[in-house]
Every structure is written in structure tokens, then in C-alpha cells.
Amino acid sequence: MRPRLAFRHTPGTGPTIIFLPGYASDMEGTKAVALERWARDTGRAFLRFDYGGCGASEGTFEEQSFADWRDDALAMIDEVAQGPVVLVGSSMGGWIMLSAAKLRPERVVGCVGIAPAPDFTDWGFSTDEKMRLLQEGQIERANPYGPAPTVYTSRFWQSGEATRLMFGEIPVDCPVRLVQGQRDPDVPWHRAGRLAELLRSADVQTWLVKNGDHRLSRDADIALIVRAVEDVLR
């Protein structure tokens, strides 16, 4: 049984826009809050939430897997949102976004990936780190965004490896916009092009921000993300 999840639902018109945070992030991040403000100002339905073990949700972080967090997103689609949804996924949230769109094609009518990181359990870890995950059960990395180190567990890593998407055509048919910074130290920007190539949808665009970092949280970045959401809502 999954932990009880914390969420903030703003009623409104049109498809519900659901924000999916990145790894070890939560719904209080700059992008999530800014998008909620825009949605409220324009009368659109919006939903942000915390995965199990993250933020204000119940559960222990180290006990969660990628599939658990994907299922949390599916629960928000199935049990909280009504009707069609547009998914906005940041970093790992972009991977969850595509996994959910693949599993709920009748509900997901648009996707916006912000520095999306599908399959990062494959390319985002060195061979030494993968061995340590298997042998020791977890590893820690220095966190450039906060004082506490970032913890990765073998449970999360193995679940991610079993749920990879970029081995062939990705059966997502809705409009997709990928917003990617070219100075992103975490997700190589050329991966966005490869992702666009693998998506089955004919309506896929990759928007590159030459001086953009991984977070894409500046005012100009957020304005671009809003444009991307508006674009898939047309």
C-alpha cells in the first residue's frame, strides 16, 4: 500500500495540468509554484503533489522506487484529476511523465518535459557507482542544490533500470514539448534530440535554451515553460 500523498489541487477549466517534480524534489519548487500561479490567474485546473517519501507526503524516502513514484503519478491522474490531463515533468519527472503517458493514453493529452531525464539510471551513473549500488545498497552524492547529500538506493536504481524507455519507439502520441538547457550539467542537451526522435507522436518540438542550466527556474525560463504548456493546450 502506497503512503498517503500530499497534493494541492486548483480547480479550473480545461485539461488539468499536473506537475511532476524531479528526483528528491517536491511540489514547493520554483517552477511548480510559478505554474500554479499562472494557472490560477488564467482559470486553468492545476495539480501539484509530492511523491511518497518526499516533501509533505508520508513514507520513507529510501524505501521508494522509480515504479512507486510512477504509480503515485498515476494515482493523481486516476483519483484526483478529472478528465484529460497535461503532464509537466521536470528532470526525473520527465521520465515519469512519459511512463504515465504511455500507460494512460486516453487521459494524457499533452506533455511538457523540462530537462527530461528518462533512463538516467543507465547513463547518469558510472560503472563504479552501479557496482556500489548493487554491493552496498545505496550511494551518496554531493548535492549542488542543497546542504544534504543526495541519496540513491539500489531499490530505486534497479526499478529504474527495469522501467527504461529509450530502447526503441516510445508509444506516446499526444503533443510533446521538450525544454532543455544547453548548459545543463546533469542532463546532456543532445539527449533531448534523441528523445524527440524516439517519441511516436508527430507533434514533438525540442526547445533549446543556450544559456539554460538544469533547473530552468529563471523568469525567462518559466515564461518559456508556460509557452510550452500553452502550446500543447491548443
Q: Which of 68, 119, 184, 221 is catalytic?
A: 184
| Alpha carbons within 13 A on the beta-carbon side of 146 | 7
Report the sign of the C-alpha dihedral through residues 193, 197, 200, 206, in that order: positive
- Residue 190 annotated in active site: no
Euclidean distance between CA atoms 185 and 168, whole angstroms: 25
Low pLDDT (below 70) residues in the chain: none
Please state the pTM of the whole predicted model.
0.97
Nearest to 91 by CA among 169, 220, 8, 187: 187
Is-catalytic flag, 91? yes
- DSSP strands (E only) in 78-221: 85-90, 108-114, 138-141, 150-153, 176-181, 204-209
Which candidate in 99, 119, 214, 221 is catalytic? 214
Question: What fold, for 7-118+166-233?
Answer: Rossmann fold (3.40.50)
Of residues 91, 119, 159, 221, which has the active-site annotation? 91
Q: Domain map of the chain by residue range? A: 7-118+166-233
Q: What is the CA radius of gyration of the chain?
A: 16
Predicted local confidence at residue 163, as pLDDT: 97
pLDDT at 143: 87
Clarify whether 214 is annotated catalytic: yes
**What string of DSSP letters covers 58-97?**
SS-GGG--HHHHHHHHHHIIIII--S-EEEEEETHHHHHH
